Amino acid sequence: MESIFVYIAKSAGLVTLFYCAYYFLLRKETFFTSNRWFLLTGLITSVILPFVVYTKVVWINPAPIPNLNFSDTNLVQNIENKTFEINWLYVMLSVYCIGLLVFLTKFAMDFYSLNSVLKGKKVHQQADFKFIDTNENIAPFSYFEYIVYNSSMYTPAELENIIEHEKVHSDQNHTVDVLISRAFCMLFWFNPVIWLYKKAITQNLEFIADKEAAKKLSDKKAYQYTLLKITTHESCVAITNHFYQSLIKKRIVMLNKNQSKRRNSWKYYVVIPALGAFVLLFQAEVVAKEKQQAVKEVSGEIESVDVYRIKKNSTDAELKEIKEKLKSIHNVDFEVSDVKRNAENNLTSIKVAIKNGTQLAQSIQTAGDHTIKDFGVIVITDKKGKKNVGIQTSDEANISKIAVSKKISSLNAAKNDNCKTNADSKTVVSKKLTTKIDTNVNDNTNTSTKTNSNANTNISTTVTIDTDNKINTKVITTTNGSVIAISNETKAANKVLESLVIVDGKEMPRSFDVNDIDTKKIESVSVYKGVEAIAKYGEKGANGVIEIETRD
């Protein structure tokens, strides 16, 4: 729902931009026809441009994450402490809908009034025009091919001036402009600029009709007197091009004004850089993606690397085939669930669970209305026949090619059924396998080095299996602003390694337990490991560093 208000705000901003350009640069120019198309272009642009979005990908280096323990009791406690809050988005949407309904009702009433004027009247057809001579005391007006007037109220000369004026409106389809501007006033009724914009459109249409009608009339002064006489009529139909307009003085001034110099047409192009700035500032979608570290030399202990790719267009039969191969070749259990597809039968959601003995790997992709990103199931077999499984979800274009060790590259896949490498997938292979799960992912990007409490709720889990040090690390992070529990213990080789904890820039003692911090007060969490931690904090950061910023 928030995106609706963002769209409305952007559209209103574009309308304001075009109106300011017209008011300050073009309003006094006599390029009336060009002004007409400029104003219409402004309305069309304000509808279309907010939908135009270009994606800018920012690649960041991957960073390890320390251990975080998520307490279910904290979650229950936070849910219980929630109080009733007014959803102001729904309130604003309700106000907007009420306003829209009012103006739609007003438009329906105006249309009914117009229909009552036209219905049942005698129509005189002449060329492409339909003339209606009415007895009602209303100002002359045109509505598409209809031209309505009361002949008893004017002299023949005045009536000729009026009809020539309305013919221009009818011939150039000015009614379309009036209806479009009226529609925008209904949709963006809350924006005061749109009402000024509508007034500018109708006024410019009168300038066009006055200019073209004066060319066909022999007495230009008599035409101006007719304008003054029509000002006495106060009754007019709202959704039509009516001869009477309140700013008669401006019409007479523009009618007698000399033609603007052609070199002044540069003013129309001033809006182009402003539109470019709008796109750069508001229509750029920055996507952060984690770089995949390529391994240029794989240890000679690796016997084979098997990759089974799951694509957005993978069928149920192909998924079943992958399951059978993993079971028959590697004795790996492969289960697929939560499968959703779009109209093109492409995957928009999938959950994959892999089990290899006690080793578990899982991937969840939910892309909403979009298709998922391709990913692969990796099975690495060492010389002793031990198998490690993992899931690779990186983009192919940003993974360096693997230079496998001579022992592997010399293997002949045709002679060895246990060595299968899918040419369609570029896979990063090492002794450490990392599987990432994200339960709320649209772009399949897994970056979780910093948690901000103002972000939307997004729970992600990272499971790391290290075959050398026998370290099993489970990371669960929630960014809803209130549920964050952290543990700074890392168990390795039956030893307890405590990470350095920095709270609001102050170093905490080794005995400090971060679980003592009220999770509601945590603003952000940054974590560092390895070289990065040592470079920032020296030897004290050898076991990793946790930086915590609180709201206080």
**pLDDT at 35 exceeding the cut of 90:** yes
- Tell me, yes or no, whether 516 lies in a domain: no
Which of 417, 435, 433 has the alpha carbon at shortest distance from 363?
Answer: 435
Residue-level length of the chain: 552
Contact 484, 476 (CB under 8 A): no
- Tally of CB atoms within 10 A around 448: 21
Q: What is the tens place of the pLDDT at every residue in 482-512?
A: 333 333 444 333 344 578 888 888 888 877 7
pLDDT tens digits, one per residue of 428-450: 333 333 333 333 333 333 333 33
Residue 104 lies in a domain: yes
Q: What are phi and psi of 505, to 5 degrees?
A: 85, -5
Across residues 389-414, what is the average pLDDT? 41
- Domain-located, residue 190: yes
In 3-state terms, what secondary structure has residue 450?
strand
pLDDT at 140 over 70: yes
Which amino acid, 337?
S
Local structure of 446: helix, strand or coil: coil
Question: What is the span of the domain harbouring residue 174?
Answer: 2-52+97-117+156-278
Looking at residues 41-66, what average pLDDT do you find? 79
pLDDT at 98: 96
Least confident of 165-169, 171-175, 225-229: 225-229
Average of per-residue pLDDT across 96-104 = 95
Q: Tell whether the model's pLDDT for residue 452 goes beyond 60.
A: no
Q: List the one residue out of 375, 517, 371 whose CA is nearest residue 436.
A: 375
Crossing angle for the helix pair 174-187 and 192-216, to the nearest 10 degrees:
170
Contacts of 212 (CB under 8 A, 6+ apart): 168
What Rg, from alpha-carbon coordinates, does the chain have?
36
CA-wise closest residue to 514 among 216, 67, 164, 174: 67
Residue 462 located in a structural domain: no
Which tokens hold the place of 21? 């350009």
> Is residue 510 a part of any domain in this protein?
no
Whether the per-residue pLDDT at 386 is higher than 60: the answer is yes
pLDDT for 229 equals 77
How far, in Å, CA of 33 to CA of 531, rounded? 67
Buried b vs exposed e over 232-263: b needs ≥16 C-beta within 10 Å? Answer: ebeebbebbbbbbbeeeeebbebbeeeebeee
Those residues whose C-beta lies under 8 Å from the C-beta of residue 46, and which sit 6 or more positions away, are 11, 12, 14, 15, 18
Say if residue 155's pLDDT is above 70: yes
Lookup result for tokens 């889990």: 461
Residue 322 lies in a domain: no
Task: Report H helices in 300-416.
Answer: 316-330, 406-409
Lowest-pLDDT range of 225-229, 254-258, 422-426, 526-530: 422-426
pLDDT tens-place string over residues 285-319 = 776 665 554 433 444 467 777 888 888 888 989 99
Instruction: Say which range, 46-50, 127-131, 229-233, 520-524, has the weakest mean pLDDT.
Output: 229-233
CA 139/CA 166 separation, integer angstroms: 11
pLDDT at 180 over 50: yes
Looking at per-residue confidence, does 329 or 466 come out higher? Answer: 329
Q: What is the pLDDT of residue 470?
A: 35
- Of 95-109, 174-188, 422-436, 525-539, the one with minimum mean pLDDT is 422-436
491: in domain? no
26: in domain: yes
Q: What is the pLDDT of residues 242-256, one digit of tens each?
A: 665 557 888 888 988
The region that residue 173 occupies, defined by phi over 0 for left and psi between -120 and 50 for alpha, beta otherwise, is left
Domain count for the chain, please give it: 1
Category of 255 on φ-ψ map: left (φ > 0), alpha (ψ -120 to 50) or beta: alpha
What does the alpha-carbon distance between residue 296 and residue 428 come to, in Å, rounded to a whole number?
Answer: 9
Q: Using DSSP, state whether 315 is helix, strand or coil.
A: coil
